[in-house]
Amino acid sequence: MRAARTLKSRITFCAGFACLLSLAGAPSAYALHRVGWVFADQPDATAAYTPKAQYSFNSAKGSVTVTPGGGVTGGTYVVTFTKLYQNAPQYVPDNVQISVADGTSAHCTAGGWGQEDPSDTTANVTVQCYDKLGNPTNAAFTLLYQIRSAPFGSAANGLAFLVQGSAGSVAETTDPYNSTGGNNMVTKSNQVGIGAGNYTVTLPGMTRIGGDVQVTSLYGATEAGPAHCGLVRWTAAASRGTTITVQCYRDKNGSPNYSGFVLAYAIGEPFGTLLPGDGTLGGAWLFANDLRSTSPYTPLPSHQYNGFRTGPLTAQKIGTGTYAVTIPGALTYSTSTALVTAVGAGNGYCNLAGWGHATVNVVCYNRAGALADSRFNVTLQTAR
């Protein structure tokens, strides 16, 4: 489906309409930071549509559209950001994060992204959604796309991302970006107490404890069928940077299974930012670490960020598997999106159930698709 982006090498996963093209290479000195997002809120649409302006954004001032169809059995969409991809003198890594956003127990994967033509500046992202048993299904979702090169910030404020392309070889880790200039790595592991299907991600240079992690599964990256990947834990040390444990499970039976995933990390910055101090893009995120508190509580300062500078974020349990995250104060922005990733060693997962001006609602499910309590990472991304 995709034409190869110029440079070095690429790995390809294809399954029906979806095809992933990822190019290996390190961030170049060419300074490029572009961001786009969307809330695709018409899961049953039969023709291309333009999402609501208050839920979409393109930092290159291009259009944003969602086109349904193309898959054999439904649940497939293509999100198009015109002008957002920029051909550069050297390879530029990019990243996609996706969350189901209609409160259902579906989940959506990244099917592939890139350009239709090497000279094109349009970024196309394919999304494939499934029900709890791994069958294709229509679903509403949010999506954040970013393309970056050149370091910025520090260990206390920066971004990192990568793609783990298949069942666990370090050589297949692609699209790495680290704003400290570190060389991101992934190793296949079998950690005690977790079992098979887990990976250790290392982000050198990210030595400050805290931050936030988002994980999205790849479509077609395993022969065992659709899988979902979540976050188990993450920590930081001066000697090695931040290390992150990711766990993947098969959709059909909930068993641990090595699969491909896309990961993004942020500390001291929103996941989508142009450059520190730009002021155009903002947002907030936190690790909701108390899965049972029915009263509002304040998570650790190291594991939350409020770009609005209106005070600490709070979270609380509303009911079984249902949570609300609140950002205090009067917030000013014109467009927003949100993302969520479950945190824990089990095979559950979390989705969005909508968000208001200062509140993000989260629902979490167990492997059977029933509401279940869970810890999670959530982010709200905004632009003025």
pLDDT at 72: 56
pLDDT at 7: 23
Distance CA 365, CA 254 (A): 12
Residue 248 in contact with residue 195, Cβ under 8 Å?
no
Distance CA 342, CA 375 (A): 6
Cα distance between the two ends of the chain: 35
Closest CA to 213 of 150, 271, 274, 167: 271
pLDDT at 73: 64
pLDDT at 357: 87
pLDDT at 127: 95
Return the structure tokens found at 324. 């609300």
Q: What are the tens digits of pLDDT across the range 200-213?
A: 999 999 999 999 99
Please return the burial class of 202, using the count of CB atoms within 10 Å of its CB with bins 0-12, 13-18 and 19+: middle
Distance CA 382, CA 280 (A): 9
pLDDT at 112: 85
Q: What are the tens digits of pLDDT across the range 170-196?
A: 446 788 999 999 999 998 876 656 667
pLDDT at 31: 67
Residue 341 in contact with residue 213, Cβ under 8 Å?
yes
pLDDT at 118: 66
What is the phi-psi region of residue 197: left when phi exceeds 0, alpha when psi lies from -120 to 50, beta otherwise?
left
Would you kindly state where each structural domain of the chain is located, as residue ranges?
9-149, 158-267, 281-383
Helix spans in 191-337 (H) = none
Residue 351 in contact with residue 305, Cβ under 8 Å?
no
Residue 349 in contact with residue 365, Cβ under 8 Å?
yes
CA atoms within 13 A on the CB side of 90: 13
pLDDT at 4: 29
Cβ count within 10 A of residue 29: 9
Which residues of the chain fall short of a pLDDT of 50? 1-29, 168-171
pLDDT at 71: 56
The DSSP string of 274-317 is SSTT--SEEEEEEEE--SS--S-B---GGGEEETT-S---EEEE
Distance CA 114, CA 108 (A): 18
Return the structure tokens found at 106. 């579906």
